Amino acid sequence: MTDRNLAIVKIVSCVLVGIALIISGVEFYNHRNFKEPVVVGSGVTEVKTLGDYFAPLKGTINDTNIYIIDSGVPGGTAMLIGRSHPEEPATNLAAKIFVENAKLTKGRLIVVITANQSASRVTRPGDAYPMYYTIETPWGESKFRMGDRWSNPLDSWPDPEAYVHYPSGQLLAYMDIRNFNRTWPGRENGMITEQTNYAFMNLIREENVDIFIDLHEAELEYPVISTIVAHQKAADIAGLASMILTSTEFRIGMEFSPPSLHGLSHREVGDHSDAISLLFETPEPFLDRVRGITDEALLLTGKDEFVMTAGKFGLLYEKIDENGWPIDVRVGRHCSSTLMVIELWGDFNPGKEVVIEGVPRYDEVVSNGTGYYFHDPSKARTQDIYYE
């Protein structure tokens, strides 16, 4: 090849690389700035942001919406959060159902659809995640961002050589300083994920939250799956909820929060506030390492022949067959589990009930579909639309 031809090849290569960088940069920018509309239901009485509870977060990427549903009748206060890990979509979809449909006749419910906004605006490097997914509704498709387990490095950099959890001093994986469910109860002067947890702890204390529920999904290779993980203060309620749900709706277990494992919501919220704390896990084959193509279809249907094969060899902690684990099943489990635990809280604590109406249970979500319970933003009043 002559020097002239070599120069042409280099120039063309640089131009092609530049075009690829521009295209990918635009896609990353659009994903980071994509807004998901939420049409608040008539039960929502106030919408605050997390920055109202910790001023340094005001106006930052993690200054997320706090939806308050107040019956006006004295009772208890429950709190529900989704998208602690935004690669677990049943969590924010279930939380959105509560925001758009719940009405209370006693007590208060505080709902957070996106607990870690930063992590919802990036996908996992090297895993070929889809950037978006859509949910069918009676009025068309509703589009959502796909996210990651960890906060975006653009918002939290650099990671430390070793992450020392505060205040326990326990050593955790270095990247878990960006993991919303490894940084509870947070740190006032820490990295942004720690500050986010710190703000949530302020919220929990200031709003006198009685019962705190953190929604999650897990790979079938993970032993803590299809279960309620409960702080010791919530053990009786979690155990009874497990028995009732298993006998009436679907099989779900119960596990105790390990006292020596720090940074997780089911441990730290219970230890550092008056609230009882629980975490729910549903199966999400999309997260399994033995999966096939990581696309939107797998995310929503939960069907994968490779995960099924792993099950045949006894490598999984949850069953899977040709029906997979569809998103409606996972969302429905979270809806019913939340309603059951909150109902039992009222039974155990007379005078502090939180009575919720208008939210579908498992059978209804599976039958009608998740999108059936989402409202059409094009037909809503401007003042009723918020964005995640």
In this prediction, residues 6-29 reach a mean pLDDT of 90
pLDDT at 5: 83
**Which H or E run contains 9?**
helix 3-33
Residue 169 has pLDDT above 80, yes or no: yes
- The tokens for 217 are 């999904």
% of the chain surpassing 70 pLDDT = 100
Residue-range domains of the chain with CATH: 34-387 (3.40.630)
pLDDT at 67: 98
Q: Which residues contact 284 (CB under 8 A, 6 or more apart)?
A: 88, 90, 217, 218, 219, 302, 325, 330
Q: What's the pLDDT band for 3 if we cut at 50, 70, 90?
A: confident
- pTM of the entire predicted model: 0.96
pLDDT at 1: 66
In this prediction, residues 3-7 reach a mean pLDDT of 82
Q: Give the β-pairing of 77-81 and 108-112.
A: parallel
Across all residues in the chain, what is the average pLDDT?
Answer: 97
Cα four-point dihedral sign 310, 314, 315, 317: positive
In this prediction, residues 18-26 reach a mean pLDDT of 92
Q: What's the pLDDT band for 105 if we cut at 50, 70, 90?
A: very high
- Model confidence pLDDT, tens digit, residues 294-328: 999 999 999 999 999 999 999 999 999 999 999 99
Residue 14 has pLDDT above 90, yes or no: yes
Residue 97 has pLDDT above 90, yes or no: yes
7 exposure class (CB count in 10 Å sphere: 0-12, 13-18, 19+): exposed
- The Cβ of residue 159 has, within 10 Å, a number of other Cβ atoms equal to 16
Contact 290, 308 (CB under 8 A): no
Contact 277, 265 (CB under 8 A): yes
Identify the three-state secondary structure at position 155. Answer: coil
Cα four-point dihedral sign 293, 299, 304, 310: positive
Q: Which position has the higher pLDDT, 251 or 9? A: 251
pLDDT at 9: 84
- The Cβ of residue 250 has, within 10 Å, a number of other Cβ atoms equal to 16
